[in-house]
DNA sequence: CGAAAATTTGACATGACTCAACTGGAGTGG
DNA sequence: CCACTCCAGTTGAGTCATGTCAAATTTTCG
């Protein structure tokens, strides 16, 4: 069963009985997306949580000037989507688009709510996941203040080597808040130093 | 009882029986801090969650160059502390220091864990709080990319008018990632336009 | 091979920082 | 009540980091 990486992931965070895990799996569906397809589009209400079984996904938003800003990348064993839209059941600000053909485990929003009531450990799972996501988000804010451009890029490469290898450079620039030209110059400076 | 604002706050997020609320309150202590005192110091392990009943608190960290960066402000009905330290029970990166004499509702870390097991709705409370905090954190990242300095400052003032009035300008500059001089220039530009 | 997309490079412009000087208000002590 | 000090805030000159725009080069992929 190809939800195995999903159940493995869950087991690393909380301990569930076999029955509980079965209930979760029974509410989870697997879905394939082609490269370029959207898991979520800005303006739609996000009605699912999505766990990446395989593939690479970018979450981005478009500002008033039409510029794309990448908020997050997701690969295997990460979540993707717009939590704000999911929580408030309001139109999403973000898009989630596949950069590769991808396979995603999906639990519909309503099922998630039911599972929260039915399986307290399921709610714990999401409490912990969200705590980790929040801590990472705070760290990103700090680094945006206190690191130089070069440090930010090197940090990114060491922290997310798998992403660095899979996504084009101009998207990394967008994630870091740089122009593609500027990232290119940062890179050439790093190369010159070696 | 002066934990009233705390129980009111909780009731707005989750519905609890009177007994459950009593258990939570029984595990909560009230503590006063004087202006300048620390609720948490970087390097110490954060062993409590802290809800602000009264006062104003800054959460900041000091980078390698000795510069202070304010990560968050907290006033009445907000939480304060370093969630990363709490979760991992590792030394905190952040300091929480009172900018005014303050009163805080405290639940020790161990009690929080016990309450998670005992009262599923308590865990739901923290799932929801953390979700909101994460969404706000993501939004701050986006705004740091897509707003101009002037827009960031105006946004801050409209979003947190109470903080704007209570906190010195150089701390707002630190929160926004500006130098104090630069914020002063942004302000004079805004005034000139009116 | 050829076309489109991604990346690099260079010249120039602008935003934000640094440093230093100045202003103004809030204590404080004589 | 004045003089002094201290600190936050302002202002200005110069600098550095990053962005913009355009062109050249490299890579990707049909």
The model's pLDDT over A35-85, given as tens digits with 9 standing for 90+, comes to: 999 999 999 999 999 999 999 999 999 988 888 999 999 999 999 989 999
> Is A135 within 8 Å of B83 when comparing Cβ atoms?
yes
pLDDT of the residue at B1: 55
CB atoms within 10 A of CB B89: 10
Using a pLDDT cut of 90, give the percent of chain A over it: 94
Alpha carbons B96 and B82: distance in angstroms, whole number: 8
A40 and A94 Cβ atoms separated by less than 8 Å: yes
State, as a whole number of angstroms, the distance between the CA of A155 and the C1' of C14. 27
Q: Mean of the pLDDT values across residues B8-30?
A: 98
Which residues 67-86 of B are in CB contact (within 8 Å) with A?
Answer: 67, 69, 71, 83-84
**CA B2, B3, B9, B13: dihedral to nearest 10 degrees?**
-160
B72 and B97 Cβ atoms separated by less than 8 Å: no
Alpha carbons B28 and B97: distance in angstroms, whole number: 20
**Strand arrangement of the beta sheet that strand A95-98 belongs to:** A38-40, A95-98, A57-62, A68-74
The pTM of the full predicted model, rounded to 2 decimals, is 0.95
State, as a whole number of angstroms, the distance between the CA of A188 and the C1' of C2. 29
Smallest CA-to-CA distance from A174 within A99, A81, A82 is with: A99
Task: Flag whether residue B148 sits within 8 Å of chain A, measured between CB atoms.
Answer: no
Task: Flag whether residue A19 sits within 8 Å of chain B, measured between CB atoms.
Answer: no
Q: Mean of the pLDDT values across residues A18-24?
A: 98
Q: Contacts of residue A145 in chain B, CB cutoff 8 Å?
A: 69, 177
Q: Contacts of residue B137 in chain A, CB cutoff 8 Å?
A: 134, 137-138, 141
User: Which structural domains are found in chain A, ordered by start?
Assistant: 4-119 (2.60.120.10)
pLDDT (tens digit per residue) in B118-150:
999 999 999 999 999 999 999 999 999 899 999
| Helices B149-159/B120-146 angle, 10° precision | 150
């Amino acid at each position: 069963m190809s939800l195995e990486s999903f159940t493995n992931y869950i087991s690393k965070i909380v301990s569930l009985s076999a029955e509980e895990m079965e209930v979760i799996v029974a509410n989870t569906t697997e879905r394939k997306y082609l490269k370029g397809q959207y898991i979520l589009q800005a303006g739609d209400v996000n009605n699912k949580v999505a766990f990446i079984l395989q593939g690479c996904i970018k979450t981005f938003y478009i500002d008033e000037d039409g510029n794309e800003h990448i908020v997050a990348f997701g690969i295997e064993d990460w979540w993707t989507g717009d939590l704000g839209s999911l929580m408030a059941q309001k139109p999403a600000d973000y898009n989630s688009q596949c950069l590769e053909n991808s396979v995603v485990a999906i639990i519909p929003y309503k099922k998630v709510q039911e599972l929260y009531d039915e399986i307290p450990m399921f709610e714990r799972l999401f409490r912990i996941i969200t705590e980790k996501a929040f801590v990472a988000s705070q760290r990103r804010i700090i680094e945006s203040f206190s690191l130089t451009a070069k440090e930010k890029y090197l940090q990114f490469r060491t922290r997310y080597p798998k992403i660095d290898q899979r996504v084009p450079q101009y998207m990394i620039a967008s994630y870091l808040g740089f122009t593609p030209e500027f990232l290119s110059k940062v890179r050439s400076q790093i190369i010159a130093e070696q």
